[in-house]
Amino acid sequence: MPLLACAALAQDVQIDPRTAYKINLPPEGPVSLISADWGQSRATARGGATQVDLHSTLMLRNTSNRRIRGVSLLVLAQDVTPGGKASVTVPSLDVQPGESFPIRLDLRLMRPLSSAQGPLVEVGVDGVLFDDLTFYGPNKLNARRAMLAWEMEARRDRKALAAALESGGPEGLRKQLLSILSRQAEQPQGSMQVARSLPATNAGVGKTQEFAFLKLPEAPVELVSGSARMTANEASAPRVEVQSKSKRPIRYVELAWLVRETDGHEYLAGTLPSEISLAAGQRATVQKENVLRFPREVSKLTAFPVAVEFADGEMWIPSRQDLRDPRLAAALPISGEEQRLAELYRRKGLDAVVQQLKSMR
């Protein structure tokens, strides 16, 4: 009987890909659709909802007159129900006008059976970032902020590798790339789970403990004080007081957590993003009811800023000078752009990386 009940609750739904999936790309927008392959996608009825397992490759074309550096797609099965929408963001692109490029969709969405009208899933552009750092799109899921930060990080790291090429020639660049590959292979990875709200069973658990800060000289904010309730492998309800060092108003601050375990192993465990209203020179408090869970016992928690968004939309990220702090150099993972270029070197050789550095300045 239980098996029959489960079968009744999970049944494949017959769908027509021609009507079940809709791509919404404005004709005046910077990208157009060349093709969409929905062959591996499926829908399953589960109780009062339809589970959509989306597996597709979209082939798009840059129809603008500028290079595209990043694209974020909004994938929508239902706008209200939890699990009804998602996004797919692809940074570190270099798509010239007229060029085509793929975006892979591998998502699971939920849609109420009562929502019988219209396509099963709709895909649209949430944002496109160009090489001049201008942005197109509705930005419903704050795609602009993330893509701009990634692009600034990529430019920072490409500039550092280009400087190694200029000062040390091809062998200087090769040395840097081999160092990246070596660090990537040797660097242990930590992990952290974040619970968005504080469970009642954890309320009041642990001892309130001040945590440390790393000061980044060029950061537009300074962390003044901070605390969290700490147990052996958990930090809950973090609270940080930040002060603006900038003359410009700030609307977003993202802090990173540097975790040291009892055996001395230190790693970057995650970030604490926060919308904030911070006027020039003023202080504000970042406070969350999150629980940060670590895989092993923690002896020290350190916070530092990794991204700041000003009210005019401009972003700040740490410079290479900021990241020379010995603790950060040892604990921070290899950046996405460093990984990409090091992998390009491993697969295609040094000349391919040199060409990338020259073309993406």
Residue labelled with tokens 């752009």:
337
Question: Do 341 and 158 contact (CB within 8 A), yes or no?
Answer: yes
* Chain centre distance of CA 57: 21
199-233 residue pLDDT tens: 434 444 578 889 899 999 999 999 999 998 888 88
150-168 residue pLDDT tens: 999 999 999 999 999 999 9
Whether the pLDDT of residue 300 is over 50: the answer is yes
Q: Which residue has the higher pLDDT, 175 or 204?
A: 175
Can you give the pLDDT at residue 324? 85
- pTM equals 0.83
Distance, CA of 281 to CA of 270 (rounded, Å): 27
Can you give the pLDDT at residue 146? 92
Q: Cβ neighbours of residue 182 under 8 Å, at least 6 residues apart? A: none
Range scoring the smallest mean pLDDT among 172-176, 203-207, 243-247, 319-323:
203-207
Whether the pLDDT of residue 34 is over 60: the answer is yes
Running DSSP on this structure, what letter comes out for residue 171? H
Domains of the chain: 2-141 (2.60.40), 151-187+337-359 (no CATH), 193-333 (2.60.40)
Question: 27 in helix, strand or coil?
Answer: coil
- Cβ count near 344 (within 10 Å): 16
* Residue 298 pLDDT grade (very low, low, confident, very high; cuts 50, 70, 90): confident
Can you give the pLDDT at residue 138? 95
Distance, CA of 68 to CA of 249 (rounded, Å): 29
Can you give the pLDDT at residue 203? 45
Q: What are phi and psi of 111, to 5 degrees?
A: -140, 130
Region 272-292 average pLDDT? 89
60-111 residue pLDDT tens: 999 999 999 999 999 998 877 778 899 999 998 989 999 999 999 999 998 8
* Residue 197 pLDDT grade (very low, low, confident, very high; cuts 50, 70, 90): very low
- Cβ count near 130 (within 10 Å): 19
Percentage of the chain exceeding pLDDT 70: 89
350-359 helix and 336-348 helix, angle to the nearest 10 degrees: 140
Task: Tell me how far apart the 2 most distant CA atoms of the chain are, in Å.
Answer: 73
Tokens of 269: 């465990």
Whether the pLDDT of residue 355 is over 50: the answer is yes
Q: What are phi and psi of 13, to 5 degrees?
A: -100, 125
Whether the pLDDT of residue 257 is over 60: the answer is yes
Question: 330 in helix, strand or coil?
Answer: helix
Instruction: List C-alpha distances in Å: 42 to 15, 77, 78, 109, 125.
Output: 8, 13, 16, 11, 22
Can you give the pLDDT at residue 269? 82
Question: Do 30 and 64 contact (CB within 8 A), yes or no?
Answer: yes
